[in-house]
Structure 1
Amino acid sequence: MVDAKILVVDDNKSVLSALEILLQFEYSNINTISNPNRISSFPDLDKIDVVLLDMNFSAGVNSGNEGLFWLKEIKKKAPMTVVIMMTAYGAVELAVQALKEGASDFILKPWNNDKFLATVKAAYMLRNSQKEINQLKQKESKLKQVINQDKNYIIGNSKALSTVLTLTNKVAKTDVNVLITGENGTGKELIARQLHKMSPRQNEVFIAVDMGSISENLFESELFGHLRGSFTDAKEDRIGKFEAANGGTLFLDEIGNLSLQMQSKLLSAIQNKVIVRVGSNVSIPVDIRLVCATNCNLEQMVSDGLFREDLLYRINTIHIEVPPLRDRGNDILILADFYLKKFSSKYAKHGLRINDIAEEKLKQYSWPGNVRELQHTMERAVILCEGNILKPTDFILNTKSSTTLELGPKTLEEMEEIMIQNALHNNDGNYSAAAAQLGISRQTLYNKIKKQDNNAE
């Protein structure tokens, strides 16, 4: 027996009894109503799986209008409930009208029991499918909300940043392609996410792709998808980033790293708004908002023959230049305070503050790695500090370039300090990567930095 709720509405009590007997062996919950006026007050109508609704209730009337009226009422109150119409006066026009109004099927009286049960079963399966689709849509919506959650924030109130945000919010309301440029670590992806957040696509997905990390032989598979067996490691069908971002925003970071061949394939997808999976001949239309980013000078690359001019025109309808941190004035201290609180909480070192001399040191530094470098600098300072006040010596800044090695004799300790600073700078403050570059363990690197700080004090 199927655990389902069936409601039969018919003014003929003999019909109600017959259907109740027929259905009770198939379905767990059978309800009957002889007066259609009770439909409006029927409890939990939206919980009913299938309604069997007669089309005529008044004596001598066989137009079917009464049934159509109550069909509309049911659909208003319970749009997901499946309705099957029943009548002894069948006509093609009436059946078509009922289907247009939302009925799932049409049964003629007298009925064949087997056919009747088959029709009800099909309607119940339709109801289940609709439930599953609705649940999937709800899960998809929640998943998009999780994916689109802000993990980082645009922090600062400088004029340079305000100008960028004003342009960003203005452009977000359109659907034009946007190119975001700026130095490494300035927050180009944050601007891209702000574009998405303020756009009509904000409830759809935001997909970010690091183009610099995609090898040329996997480019098409990553962006456009592939079919199983289309190449050696293609063990199953897979959608690409374009399909995954359909309806939402596709962010292509480091687009200046693409080869000319990869640029050509990307241009074709952008122009035609269709993609073809690797191993397939079927064109799949895609609807995306395209945002690209790079720290390269694409105009110079076009002049040097390294970047397609037609692709630059396609991705550069609006250009947003993100300012470097050194041009954002007091934002440096605002960001430093934000990261100080974040990492103080993370490492359970509460009550930390930066003294005035250290703040001045942070403001005077050029921050070649921008916000990303400041973030790593603050994390290191919080980890390594001894007391509650962060002093200038707690901040390891790349104030010496590698060329200073050639300016005169250095002690071994001084040369080691410069090498460590350069390694941390080259790896955006990543201790593991810096340690690997220097050929030492991460713990050894920590110990050496700690020793340097103690000597500086």
Structure 2
Amino acid sequence: MMEGKILVVDDNKSVLSALEILLQFEYSSIATISNPNQISSFPDLSQIDVVLLDMNFSAGVNTGNEGLYWLKEIKKKAPLTAVIMMTAYGAVELAVQALKEGASDFILKPWNNDKFLATVRAAYMLRKSQKEISKLKQKESNLKQVINQDKNYIIGNSKALTTVLNLTNKVAKTDVNVLITGENGTGKELIARQLHKISPRQNEIFVSVDMGSISENLFESELFGHLKGSFTDAKDDRAGKFEAANGGTLFLDEIGNLSLQMQAKLLSAIQNKVIVRVGSNKPIPVDIRLVCATNGNLEQMVKDGLFREDLLYRINTIPIQVPALRDRGDDILILADFYLKKYSAKYAKHGLRINDIAEEKLMQYAWPGNVRELQHTLERAVILCEGNILKPTDFILNAKPSQPMPTGPQTLEEMEQIMIVNALHSHDGNYSAAAAQLGISRQTLYNKIKKQDNNG
């Protein structure tokens, strides 16, 4: 016996009795109605899996219009409920009309019991499948909402920031590719998320990919997916980031860290809007809004032969330059106050405030690490402070990139951090050039900076 709920609507009580007997051994719940007017007040109609609906209820009327009317009413109240029409006066035109109005099938009286049960079973299985699909869609929608939730905020009201947000609002309405540039820690991903949040794709997923953390041998698998057995660790079929973002926004962060070989593969996917999983020959079309970000100078990298010019043109339809924190004036104090409140609550140190001299110190500092550095600085100050007033000595600031390396005692980590900052400053944020100066690979440099940020 199946856990289905069946409702039979027919003015012939003999038919109701016969169908109740026939169906009671197949389904867990059978309900009957002899007057179609009771349909409107039937409790939990949407919970019924299959309705068996007669097409004629008035004596001498065989047009089927009554049945079509009640079919429409049922579909208004319970769109996923399967409805099978029943009539003793069969006509092809009537059956076609019923199917157009949403009926699942059409049964002629008198019926063959086996065929009747098979028809009801097919309608029930269809209803069951539709319910599962509906649940999956709801789960998918809920998951997208959770993934797309903003964990950070764009805070500030400086002219530099307002200009960027105004441009973001204009661009968001379109579907063009966007390249977001700016120093480390300026909030490039926040701008990308804002683009998605107010775009026509806002109800779809936002997928963020840190291109600097993807090794070259896993690049295709991560972005385009793979089939089971296509390489040693491919134990299952897996969709890549392009497929995951289908219908939504794909954010490729630190795109300047890609090798030329990886750039060529990415360019092909962007141009053709088609990807192929590793181990497969089947092309898969993808519909994404592409947003990229970099802290490097891609135009200079093109001149240096480190970045493909055709790829730059593809991703750079609209450029958005995120301002450095030092160019945002009083936003420094607005952000400092935000993080002060956040970490005061987190570490149960209520009533903290920053004195005027300390605020002046924060305003005069160059903030090479931008908002991320300010955030870490405030968290550190809140943790280490001993009173309710944060003084200049409570804020431990790194040496400015323009300053020479201190000659006093330094830890190895501190020396490494200063060398990295100076190298990046010397080459205007160009990772490749900075890595070459330091004698390490671009991937190693990127990983060291990530480690410093996480430890900051």
TM-score exceeds 0.5 = yes
Counterpart amino acid of residue 165 in structure 2: L
* Structure 1: 4+ residue segments shifted above 6 A: none
Report what 2:87 is aligned to.
Answer: 87
Report what 1:290 is aligned to.
Answer: 290
| Per-residue deviation, residues 122-161 of structure 1 (Å, max 9, x unmatched) | 2222212111111111111111111111100001111100
Counterpart amino acid of residue 303 in structure 1: K
Counterpart amino acid of residue 26 in structure 1: E
- Contact 1:400 1:418 survives alignment (8 Å): no
For 1:139 and 1:400, how far apart are their aligned partners in 2?
A: 49
Q: What's the secondary structure of 2:383's corresponding residue? A: helix
Report what 1:46 is aligned to.
Answer: 46
Measured after TM superposition, the shift of residue 89 of structure 1 is 2.7
Report what 1:451 is aligned to.
Answer: none
Counterpart amino acid of residue 336 in structure 2: A
Report what 1:24 is aligned to.
Answer: 24
Measured after TM superposition, the shift of residue 402 of structure 1 is 9.4
| Per-residue deviation, residues 174-198 of structure 1 (Å, max 9, x unmatched) | 1111110000000000000000111
For 1:191 and 1:323, how far apart are their aligned partners in 2?
A: 11
Counterpart amino acid of residue 40 in structure 1: S
Identity %: 85
- Contact 1:274 1:284 survives alignment (8 Å): yes
Taking structure 2 as the reference length, the TM-score comes to 0.89
Matched, 1:106 2:100: no
Measured after TM superposition, the shift of residue 52 of structure 1 is 0.3
For 1:421 and 1:378, how far apart are their aligned partners in 2?
A: 23
CA pair 131-425 structure 1, distance change in 2 beyond 3 A: farther
Q: What's the secondary structure of 2:409's corresponding residue? A: helix
Measured after TM superposition, the shift of residue 28 of structure 1 is 2.5
Report what 1:343 is aligned to.
Answer: 343
CA pair 306-57 structure 1, distance change in 2 beyond 3 A: same
Report what 1:70 is aligned to.
Answer: 70
For 1:311 and 1:390, how far apart are their aligned partners in 2?
A: 48
- The root-mean-square deviation of aligned C-alpha atoms, in Å, is 2.3
For 2:79 and 2:107, how far apart are their aligned partners in 1?
A: 20
Mean Cα deviation higher: 321-330 or 281-290: 281-290
Mean Cα deviation higher: 1-10 or 279-288: 1-10
CA pair 102-425 structure 1, distance change in 2 beyond 3 A: farther
For 1:172 and 1:11, how far apart are their aligned partners in 2?
A: 58
For 1:386 and 1:420, how far apart are their aligned partners in 2?
A: 25
- Contact 1:369 1:425 survives alignment (8 Å): no
Measured after TM superposition, the shift of residue 291 of structure 1 is 0.5
Matched, 1:416 2:410: yes
Q: What's the secondary structure of 1:221's corresponding residue? A: helix
Report what 2:393 is aligned to.
Answer: 393
Q: What's the secondary structure of 2:410's corresponding residue? A: helix
- Contact 1:402 1:419 survives alignment (8 Å): no
CA pair 60-262 structure 1, distance change in 2 beyond 3 A: same
Q: What's the secondary structure of 1:238's corresponding residue? A: coil
Matched, 1:314 2:314: yes
Counterpart amino acid of residue 85 in structure 2: M
For 1:417 and 1:311, how far apart are their aligned partners in 2?
A: 41
For 1:15 and 1:418, how far apart are their aligned partners in 2?
A: 90
Report what 2:429 is aligned to.
Answer: none
- Contact 1:332 1:363 survives alignment (8 Å): yes
Measured after TM superposition, the shift of residue 405 of structure 1 is 4.8
| Per-residue deviation, residues 242-268 of structure 1 (Å, max 9, x unmatched) | 111111111000011111111111111
- The count of residues paired between Structure 1 and Structure 2 equals 428
Report what 2:57 is aligned to.
Answer: 57
For 1:75 and 1:367, how far apart are their aligned partners in 2?
A: 62
| Per-residue deviation, residues 280-315 of structure 1 (Å, max 9, x unmatched) | 111111111110000111111112222112211111
Report what 2:145 is aligned to.
Answer: 145
Measured after TM superposition, the shift of residue 35 of structure 1 is 2.2
For 1:122 and 1:162, how far apart are their aligned partners in 2?
A: 59
- Structure 1 regions of 5+ residues with no counterpart? 428-432, 447-457
Report what 1:352 is aligned to.
Answer: 352
Measured after TM superposition, the shift of residue 224 of structure 1 is 0.8
CA pair 55-394 structure 1, distance change in 2 beyond 3 A: same
- Contact 1:50 1:82 survives alignment (8 Å): yes
For 1:69 and 1:216, how far apart are their aligned partners in 2?
A: 63
Mean Cα deviation higher: 395-404 or 187-196: 395-404
In the TM superposition, 1:147-166 aligns within 5 A as 147-166=147-166
- Contact 2:252 2:293 survives alignment (8 Å): yes
In the TM superposition, 1:438-453 aligns within 5 A as none
- Contact 1:398 1:421 survives alignment (8 Å): no
| Per-residue deviation, residues 421-451 of structure 1 (Å, max 9, x unmatched) | 8648969xxxxx79x99xxxx9xxx9xxxxx
Mean Cα deviation higher: 263-272 or 1-10: 1-10
Taking structure 1 as the reference length, the TM-score comes to 0.88
| Per-residue deviation, residues 6-57 of structure 1 (Å, max 9, x unmatched) | 1111122211110011112222322212222322232222221110011222
Measured after TM superposition, the shift of residue 109 of structure 1 is 1.7
For 1:259 and 1:62, how far apart are their aligned partners in 2?
A: 74
For 2:300 and 2:343, how far apart are their aligned partners in 1?
A: 40
Mean Cα deviation higher: 87-96 or 141-150: 87-96
CA pair 14-401 structure 1, distance change in 2 beyond 3 A: closer
In the TM superposition, 1:6-25 aligns within 5 A as 6-25=6-25
Measured after TM superposition, the shift of residue 236 of structure 1 is 0.3
Measured after TM superposition, the shift of residue 102 of structure 1 is 0.9
In the TM superposition, 1:357-376 aligns within 5 A as 357-376=357-376
Measured after TM superposition, the shift of residue 59 of structure 1 is 3.3
Counterpart amino acid of residue 67 in structure 1: G
- Contact 2:368 2:400 survives alignment (8 Å): no
Mean Cα deviation higher: 357-366 or 22-31: 22-31
Counterpart amino acid of residue 95 in structure 1: A
| Per-residue deviation, residues 345-375 of structure 1 (Å, max 9, x unmatched) | 1111111111111111110000011001111
Counterpart amino acid of residue 111 in structure 1: W
- Structure 2 regions of 5+ residues with no counterpart? 422-447
Measured after TM superposition, the shift of residue 234 of structure 1 is 0.6
- Contact 1:8 1:52 survives alignment (8 Å): yes
Counterpart amino acid of residue 113 in structure 2: N
Report what 2:438 is aligned to.
Answer: none
For 2:98 and 2:235, how far apart are their aligned partners in 1?
A: 47
Q: What's the secondary structure of 1:415's corresponding residue? A: coil
Q: What's the secondary structure of 1:250's corresponding residue? A: strand
